[in-house]
Amino acid sequence: PGVDEEAGWLRELLDELPDQISPSEVTISLRNDAASKEKQKALFRLLQLKLVKDYTIDYGAQSMNLTLESFNRDVSHAAIIDYVARSQPGRAQQVADDVRKITGTPEKSEILALGKYLIRFAYEVIVQARKRAISEALEAARAGHATPEAFRTRLLAYLEEGAGDQHIEELLSSSSISLQTWFDLGTNVHNAPEAGELRGRAIRFLESFPEHPGLLLIRAMSELGCTDPDQTLCRQDLEAMFTSGVTRYGLVESDFKKVLDALRHYARMRCGALIEPLLMSLDSSASQLPAIATYLSQEIDSTVKAFPVEARNFAVAKSLHGIQNSFSEILDLNAQSKYALKL
């Protein structure tokens, strides 16, 4: 099922409850096995929202007996925030801001909107986690196709647990995100094997926190420190750091300013190969994040000015993109305009 389908099940269950939900006992018919499973999933969302105090299921009579509570907006909001904080602590503040904006009349509309928010959150985490796992497995398989030893090295780095895990777990358990702290962790490697170990740890934790900007940052940094670096993967992770940081974790310009200065310094001192993927990620993120697009464009200008040589490929790519857009505009001209221009 998807978000809309599960939200439909919740709507159907709400339709069987009183218009004004108050402390009471309600019996819901289950009819058949399929309906039973759907209503039990919808019931779970009402339990999460603290609208159901207790319940029993009578499989013989094919019914559910629900002990209802009155709808309390503050209680439901707190329940959602607590649920998110337990699984994705860094997203709790953004979620708190989101749920406060959810209102509705009549009461059931608001309950449905809150339930749909919960469902969407769960699917976002699950889908992104699966995408990340599949993507990393594919990259490992590609590396192993070239050299079996590379696959073995990646697998061992992924499976290996060490003292660094505790530090990462502590950072992930925090409700606030300091990209500078994650950057410091990313620079605490001194050779390719250590970079590979950090990459393995990042990959493992990203399966549980697939959009965490701090993990994405060290995933990108460690990639370039390995013996088999891939600038495309680095760019993708940096881009995801910006987009998920803003849309999922509520990060703002000030959250990126210090770490971008640090990344440029890191590139100058230790890893010049970082500049091209950094520029590409800033450029693509600017088109996806209109709220901070001007700021990201300023960071592009600062980076190009500081690294004119390393930024040459980016400049060429931008020029080619501009030419492509010009051709597209020409091709979009109507027949009369083309005739006037003798095209």
Other CB atoms within 10 A of residue 219 CB: 27
**Exposure letters 303-325 (e unless 16+ CB within 10 A, then b):** bbeebeebbeebeeebeeeeeee
Other CB atoms within 10 A of residue 230 CB: 15
Residue 334's pLDDT is: 58
Distance from first CA to last CA of the chain, Å, rounded?
Answer: 51
* Alpha-carbon span 96 to 116, nearest angstrom: 15
Residue 209's pLDDT is: 95
Q: Residues of the chain with pLDDT > 90: what percent? A: 71
Q: pTM for this one?
A: 0.84
* Alpha-carbon span 288 to 303, nearest angstrom: 20
> Cβ contacts of residue 69 below 8 Å, gap of 6+?
21, 23, 50, 51, 52, 53
* Alpha-carbon span 198 to 60, nearest angstrom: 54
The whole-chain average pLDDT of the chain stands at 89
Pairwise pLDDT comparison (161 vs 65), residue with the higher score: 65
Both tokens of 143, joined, read 């590396």
For residue 153, give the nearest of 102, 125, 195, 105 by alpha carbon. 195
Amino acid identity of 52? V
The predicted-structure confidence for 295-343, as pLDDT tens digits, reads as follows 999 999 999 999 999 898 888 877 655 544 544 554 455 555 555 545 5
CB of 303 within 8 A of CB of 279?
yes
Residue 319's pLDDT is: 66
* Alpha-carbon span 286 to 223, nearest angstrom: 23
Residue 164's pLDDT is: 79
Residue 327's pLDDT is: 47
- β-bridge partners, 29: 63
Q: What is the DSSP letter of 160?
A: -
Q: Residue range 3-25: average pLDDT?
A: 93
Residue 323's pLDDT is: 45
Residue 10 has pLDDT above 50, yes or no: yes
The predicted-structure confidence for 243-299, as pLDDT tens digits, reads as follows 999 999 999 999 999 999 999 999 999 999 999 999 999 999 999 999 999 999 999
Residue ranges of E strands in the chain? 24-29, 52-58, 63-68
Question: ∠ CA(326), CA(328), CA(332), 5° rounding?
Answer: 115
Q: Residue range 229-253: average pLDDT?
A: 96
Q: Please report which helix (H) or strand (E) contains residue 80, including its range.
A: helix 73-87
Residue 32 has pLDDT above 80, yes or no: no
Residue 295's pLDDT is: 97
* Alpha-carbon span 234 to 227, nearest angstrom: 14
* Alpha-carbon span 195 to 224, nearest angstrom: 8
Residue 136's pLDDT is: 87
Other CB atoms within 10 A of residue 235 CB: 22
> Cβ contacts of residue 104 below 8 Å, gap of 6+?
110, 111, 112, 113
Residue 339's pLDDT is: 56
From residue 195, alpha-carbon distances to 95, 144, 161, 188, 199 in Å are 33, 18, 14, 9, 6
- Predicted confidence band of residue 5 (pLDDT cuts 50, 70, 90): very high
Q: Residue range 206-230: average pLDDT?
A: 95
Other CB atoms within 10 A of residue 210 CB: 24
Residue 25 has pLDDT above 60, yes or no: yes
From residue 50, alpha-carbon distances to 21, 67, 149 in Å are 12, 11, 52
* Alpha-carbon span 157 to 155, nearest angstrom: 5
Amino acid identity of 177? I
Ramachandran angles phi, psi of 309, nearest 5°: -75, -50
Question: ∠ CA(168), CA(169), CA(173), 5° rounding?
Answer: 120
Residue 324's pLDDT is: 45
Residue 245's pLDDT is: 97
